[in-house]
Chains A and B, each alone.
Chain A
Amino acid sequence: MLEPVSQPECGLVAEVVSCDVFAGRSRKEIEELEVYAGNRRRKLGDFFSVSGSAADSPEETRIVIAGSVERTKWIGRGMSAGEIVVEGSTGMYTGAWMKGGRIVVKGSVDSFAGMMMDGGELVVQGDAGDYLGCAYRGEWRGMRGGSIVVHGNAGSEAGHCLSGGRVTVKGRAESFAGVRMHSGLLVLGSAERRVGAQMTGGSIVVLAETELLPSFELIERVTSPEIEGVRFEGVFEVYAGDLAERNAKGRVYVKVE
């Protein structure tokens, strides 16, 4: 259990908050873990009061952050197993490069949550910032596996360069969701304009009417389709695109009834 006692004025780089790192470490060792507040090297114990004990393996390790840590970044970076539960909200890059295990954030996550994810599960009960489940800056090969579920809304460019796995936003996603997506499944409760811009593959499901780019072509109307292994109830218009891209094989399903 990590209880936040203070947060630095600038961001706290805390990629050590991961079941892989905590496993097999004593409370004292966990307090000594290195974090960066801006460019200053500090200890995890300077910002969190640590209690409880870690298990021997990451699989059996469960980390609870008892509060909001909006300035703490990189929680669960590259984590391969175990569970992190955050009682409040987190900063940027939550669950980036995650390979396995589960992160549950009861509040909201800042931008770049689930960036380059390869496996595991990220559940956000509040909202997500921009670039949910995105590729790293400049990278064209994005998230490859695992699942992200956001119960609230998401910012711009959710599922940017998505190359596998599944991203679900139950609320509304801002512009450019699924931009440059290559494969995988992106499910949106509703979406602002320009869904799937430059997509070359994969499927986007929008559960409400939305305005698509002119480079998407209506190809059929289907009822209760199965998409990437998931069944969706209702009537959907199926669009192919983004036809502005070469050999584009993407599909956008828009729920109409």
Chain B
Amino acid sequence: MLELRKDIFADERDDNLNEVGKGTQRQDMLGHVTGTSTYFNDHKLQGMLHLRVVRSAQPHARLRRIDTSEAERSEGVRRIIRGSDVPRNLNTLLSLINFGKDDEPTLAVDKVRYRGEPIVAVVAETPRAAAEAAAKVRIDYEDLPAVFDVEEALKPGAPTVNETYPKNTFIYHERYDHQKLRFGDVERGLAQADHVLEQRYQMSPIEHAPVETNGSIAAPDTNGRYVVYTSTQALFFSLDTCAKILDLPSNTFHFIGGTVGGGFGGKVDTLTEPLAILAAMLTGRPVRYVLGREEEMQFGPPRGAERIYIKDGVMRDGRIVARQIRGYFDSGAYTRLSSYAVVKCAAHLPGPYTIPNVHGDIYCVFTNRTPATAMRGFGITGIDFALECQMDKLAHLIGMDPMEFRILNAYRDGDMKAHRREAKNTALIECVQVAAEKAKWPMREEFRRMSSRKDGGGARAAVPSTPRETAATRPAPAQQRTSYDRGLSSPPLEPPPPPPQSPAPSSSHGATRFSSVFGTRRR
């Protein structure tokens, strides 16, 4: 049975939860077990045509010539669609909230920037006819040097992936090439530390691989409207994106979705709807555009790769006194949602710990890889992986228990976070205590007695003086080997660390929330 620790937020809200902790049947379960839940592809429409996309075979190339003449004559072909047929053939997903510049075509025109990028769409009577005609499209590529590594992409002289962002980084507020966090003096903190540990972390792209591939069916409706059945996870977002790309009012479209065959973030990018609708507009017939499995894997956007460097200064007693982070988020060839992932990542630094000197630089980098997108906590998952590995290594380095080490450094109510917002409703200490208890992990009495509500604020609520920037970015440091990596036995145990200072907890609960995308505060 689920155990609820309602005491932790008892003064934050009434204890009126009466569903959590009980099993409740999904409303769609009966449909699922009887096979009657309707997915987008379960609609069969009279006279439906099938759309297939010809994709770039190259990661980076100029398109010298696209010859569709043979494909046009192929049996069953009703229409060939090129970039010039797309009313507004340049878009960026977050332009709907006014964030970022249009940088991605629906169909590539002059250049391709990743393998699998759409170039031409073929619409035909049957899937087979569409596939056969697609194979007859001739594309003449002029290969360009490609870059696949985030740090290579930032070096001077690296090929420009996306001309909208010539330096291969997303530009924030029209002037900043990365997200920056400065709190205190990290150089001084590192100089004072008993130990400094510098590590490099790398996370690969991860494919969502939903069992249902991305797709949609668009059909002409009455009154000049179009009905669209889609696998999207973001129905109105997709609808508005189509309205922009097709340059039509959004009430032209009636989107029907809701039953998604697995998404996990991989079905928010409006991959298929614009072309399906455009094809329905151009042919006057219902059109289905569904990705095959290889397309889903190659062209379907993954969770972006990340590379993260962390340099920490830690005292023998276990206190982390400085944390310096440099992160590179691999956006692939276009922005999609990665600019936002980077904001989230920067907002998450330095993890749920109170550290007096924090220094963060996070870049959204363009490479010739499949554009990245959302996936379960994107922007956070990679940095958390790096931070928590680092926490284990630090604990090992100073010979401290990793659970106690986290409790010692955990933020407490009233502490000042590196973003200059007061920490409130913190519960990391309690989480670690419960996890240790469940895992039967031995923990000393004083750590079992610590609380997020005690010992915070006071000196820990101060905003340290922060020097102004001058230094340029340094080159990537070498990976530092630790005894943790080598799996050696722990160094001798140090005396127990002093518990944090305990001034009266701050009573201020006026912390504001920070809207990461707009950079504005809201209550």
A and B together in one complex: no
